[in-house]
Amino acid sequence: MADLQDDLHATPGVDGLDDLDELGELVEDPFAATPYTPDAAPLERARALLAAHPVADGYCGLPWALRRLPWYDLELGESDLDTDVPRLREGGVGAVFWSLHLPEGLAGDRAVGATLEQLDLVRTVVAAHPEGLRLAHTAGEVADVRYCGRVAVLLGPAGAGALGDSLGILRSLHALGLRVLTLSGASWASEAGLTRFGEEVIREMNRLGVIADLSGASEQTVRRALAASRAPVLCARSAARALRPHPANLPDDLLAGLGAAKGLCLVPMTAEQTGPSLRDVADHLDHVRALAGPECVGLSGTYDAGTAHPRELPDATGYPHLIAELLRRGWPESDVALLTWGNIQRVLRTADFTARAARQRRAPSTARIAELDG
Amino acid sequence: MSAVSSLERTRALLREFPVVDGHNDLPWALREQVRYDLAARDIAGPQDAHLHTDIPRLREGGVGAQFWSVYVRADLPDPVPATLEQIDCVRQLLDRYPADLAPALTAADMEAARAEGRIASLMGAEGGHSIADSLGTLRGLYALGVRYLTLTHNDNVAWADSATDEPRVGGLSAFGREVVAEMNRLGMLVDLSHVAATTMRDALDASAAPVIFSHSSARAVCDHPRNIPDDVLERLPANGGVAMVTFVPKFVLQAAVDWTAAADENMRAHGFHHLDTTAEAMKVHRAFEERNPRPVATAATVADHLDHMREAAGIDHLGIGGDYDGTAFTPDGLNDVSGYPNLIAELLDRGWSRADLAKLTWQNAVRVLGAAEDVARDLRATRAPSNATIEQLDG
């Protein structure tokens, strides 16, 4: 209504020549199209695209980063962090996975309790920022949160150590909202690959709808998980090893395998894995899209995880520039929409469908690591 | 008034106001006996050979709500993972028997389950060790559905003294009071069974919400540290809480207390720990039992406690917490979860009115959970979650 009233005020009075001129312009060219200049306006197109298909960011280290801060306000903005609500909004982010990974030292004995604390912290932080953030668990909830104009927060990935080698604990963590689990750093998912218990963990994850994250997992684990999982898997922080040799980056054959399994490679915005510039990140995205396919590539900011970022991507506000670069490189808008939003939504939805079917077939597993791995 | 007619009247009463039981260790029994293989102990059918608890006997006993204990041993290197497994066990039971067990988190859920004729199923954690000195973990247990925490089990925790351990902090430490305050904020009931009398008094001072004793009887009737002293019972009217009488013979019958002490002494005299269950130890124990027959408690023994607790605390502050599947021996007539009607019939014969018994079995316990929810609603409006640590508060 306010807009309409402003228009009324702009209607010319009898003594306003300027106003008459304005009206004349309007009458002359009511549908003047802004000239289409593909090279001049990719940033605008990127912003328009992100408004419709925001970024679902696959990895954010905020929970652990917040533990060391005595006080913070994510709603107003926080210079100590990479992530806050204003920058998420400016960057066109609609959903973020908040990592529950623990620092090395904590991954052992106290991992289960520390993970409970991390889950509690996320709940508390999200509850304290109701205007900006809202927890979501399923694809439907993520969409709901977006329609409410909030950023959806999803829980995960957690490290394999959070399971304490017990499927009962996996179920309890799922009941608390956990959606993604990284399959590395446990006796059952080591350099040697997945043990029998490790495979049972994947089957139980499929039954629950917890998605497997294979970034940082050994090559054997990745191959076995691709074969064993009935739901799509993802690599929450992996770029292309062909472009940059980093242990968490995926070689071409695994990228192709991931594509064949309709999994998801989420390319991190870290200088270490992708290179020091935005163009480097775009190169990785090009490569992953070419090998795995446009349905199997996504974005993972990896902000607040203690790593250096490409110059032009210091925080979430860089995403529109990255999308603009991809548009310049000729990515069709439909592929960009999959990259930012569609693919992650598809994986969440498929994981839920798989879980519903699996629950018809299987009772909760009572398998114990001592029985299966001896 | 004949016993038969009392029993009939009891059953009619329990149909309307079923039993809320404060403590049942079925999850631990399932963990120990079959490692959570619920198919191996299908409680839809009779499990008399293995358990005190199954659905047919819960039904026969007139049980309408059960706090399932998610107890784990305090001597585990890390009790938190095992507690999550216990919680998962209860959730699996709820998934498995949806026609009989109704998930319940609130007083309203309990009433809804009663209206549907299902057994409201709640969870209680037994022992502060289950939160590993972390208020974040406490909130995690609450989020998973745990609605009471017994502050200690048989051993002290760093922030609270147990009834059956050497006094250390003399009740609750500063962090212990913070745990109570956070439980108040959440709406998790503070359970004072197992704690030292000093801890009971400190917790009553600290708690803004009614407390419970999930399975404890009266110390004036039977002098055992697990029971509640009169001065504490007398504080319940002001606090609004509820003391749920337990049936465990070695807590409720003086002769059984003395007998257990003598049996333990005998074990130690033969060089065994008194809880040793190895074959040799059991042989020594059986020989003792042959010479000294085990004293037998009955429903009347428990009724004696309730009569006294009623005098001390008042009819609005009583409940029932059988500790089934958490104790080896049970009183005659209260042998398993089908036995509650025998206790109610005994009380009817002693002149307890229908209104009194409705309070004892159902109304008091439901009221206390509802009151804790009300307090939590108020506190949450003004207080943020506490992240105080034991190092900060207790130094």
Tell whether B358 lies on the interface with A, counting CB pairs under 8 A: no
What does the pLDDT average to over A6-21?
44
Q: Could B84 and A109 be called an inter-chain contact, meaning their C-beta atoms sit closer than 8 Å?
A: no
**Average per-residue pLDDT for chain B:** 96
Predicted pLDDT of residue A72: 87
What does the pLDDT average to over B132-139?
97
Encode pLDDT of B9-59 as tens digits.
999 999 999 999 999 999 999 999 999 999 999 999 999 999 999 999 999
- Cis (ω within 30 of 0) for the bond into A157? yes
Q: Is the pLDDT at A31 greater than 70, yes or no?
A: no
Higher pLDDT, B382 or A14: B382
- What is the residue extent of each domain of chain A? 42-373
Q: Could B136 and A121 be called an inter-chain contact, meaning their C-beta atoms sit closer than 8 Å?
A: yes
Q: Is the pLDDT at B275 greater than 90, yes or no?
A: no
Q: Could A173 and B84 be called an inter-chain contact, meaning their C-beta atoms sit closer than 8 Å?
A: yes
Predicted pLDDT of residue A29: 56
3-state helix, strand, coil in chain A (%, to 5): 50, 15, 35
Q: Is the pLDDT at B114 greater than 70, yes or no?
A: yes
Q: For the structural domain made of A42-373, what CATH number should be given?
A: 3.20.20.140
Query: How far off is chain B from A303, nearest CA to CA, in Å?
Result: 24
Contact residues for A24 (Cβ-Cβ < 8 A; gap 6+): none
Predicted pLDDT of residue A68: 82
**Can you tell me the distance from the alpha carbon of A287 to that of A250, in angstroms, rounded to the nearest whole number?**
11
Test mutation, B80, B92, B185, B380, chain A, max A CBs within 10 A:
B80
Encode pLDDT of A52-72 as tens digits.
999 999 999 999 999 888 888
Q: Where in chain B is the domain with CATH 3.20.20.140?
A: 3-249+298-394
Predicted pLDDT of residue A34: 54
Predicted pLDDT of residue B332: 97
What does the pLDDT average to over A304-311?
95
Rounded percentage of chain B residues whose pLDDT exceeds 90 = 95
Which residues of chain B from 34 to 63 reach within 8 Å of chain A, CB to CB? 35-39
Higher pLDDT, A103 or A50: A50
Of B132, B144, B385, the CB nearest to A124: B385
Tell whether B139 lies on the interface with A, counting CB pairs under 8 A: yes
- Full-model pTM: 0.92
The CATH topology of domain B3-249+298-394 is: TIM Barrel (3.20.20)
Of A117, A168, A364, the CB nearest to B137: A117
Q: Is the pLDDT at B2 greater than 70, yes or no?
A: no
Encode pLDDT of A86-141 as tens digits.
999 999 999 999 999 998 777 566 899 999 999 999 999 999 999 999 999 999 99
Rounded to two decimals, the ipTM of the complex is: 0.93
Test mutation, A64, A125, A366, chain B, max B CBs within 10 A:
A366
Rounded percentage of chain A residues whose pLDDT exceeds 90 = 83
Predicted pLDDT of residue B150: 98
Residue in chain A lying closest to B96 (CA)? A363
Q: Which residues in chain A have their CB less than 8 angstroms from residue B385's CB?
A: 120, 124
Instruction: Please give, one letter per residue, the 3-state secondary structure of chain B.
Output: CCHHHHHHHHHHHHHHCCEEEEEECHHHHHHHHHCCCHHHHCCCCCCCCCCCCCHHHHHHCCEEEEEEECCCCCCCCCHHHHHHHHHHHHHHHHHHCCCCEEECCCHHHHHHHHHHCCEEEEEEEECHHHHCCCHHHHHHHHHCCEEEEECCCCCCECCECECCCCCCCCCECHHHHHHHHHHHHHCCEEECCCECHHHHHHHHHHCCCCCEECCCCECCCCCCCCCECHHHHCCHHHHCCEEEECCCHHHHCHHHHHHHHHHHHHHHHCCCCCCCCCHHHHHHHHHHHHHCCCCCCEHHHHHHHHHHHHHHHCHHHEEECCCECCCCCCCECCCCCCCHHHHHHHHHHCCCCHHHHHHHHHHHHHHHHHHHHHHHHHHHHHCCCCCCCHHHHHC
Predicted pLDDT of residue A11: 42
Of A113, A124, A366, the CB nearest to B80: A113
Q: Is the pLDDT at B268 greater than 80, yes or no?
A: yes
Predicted pLDDT of residue A78: 87
**Can you tell me the distance from the alpha carbon of B86 to that of A287, in angstroms, rounded to the nearest whole number?**
47
What does the pLDDT average to over A167-178?
98
Encode pLDDT of B153-209 as tens digits.
999 999 999 999 999 999 999 999 999 999 999 999 999 999 999 999 999 999 999
Q: Among B21, B126, B178, B304, which one carries the catalytic annotation?
A: B126
Q: Which residues in chain A have their CB less than 8 angstroms from residue B139's CB?
A: 120, 123-124
CA atoms within 13 A on the CB side of A192: 6
User: Among this protein's residues, is B129 annotated catalytic?
Assistant: no
Residue in chain A lying closest to B80 (CA)? A113
Shortest CA distance to A157 belongs to which of A262, A268, A51? A268
Predicted pLDDT of residue A6: 42
Q: Among B153, B224, B305, B308, which one carries the catalytic annotation?
A: B153
Residues in chain B: 395
Rounded percentage of chain A residues whose pLDDT exceeds 70 = 89
Q: Is the pLDDT at A212 greater than 90, yes or no?
A: yes
Q: Is the pLDDT at A39 greater than 80, yes or no?
A: no
Q: Is the pLDDT at A2 greater than 70, yes or no?
A: no
**Can you tell me the distance from the alpha carbon of B198 to that of A103, in angstroms, rounded to the nearest whole number?**
40
- Show the tokens assigned to B95: 């998934």
User: Among this protein's residues, is B305 annotated catalytic?
Assistant: no
User: Among this protein's residues, is B25 annotated catalytic?
Assistant: yes
Contact residues for B315 (Cβ-Cβ < 8 A; gap 6+): B356, B359, B360
pLDDT band at A9 (very low <50, low <70, confident <90, very high): very low
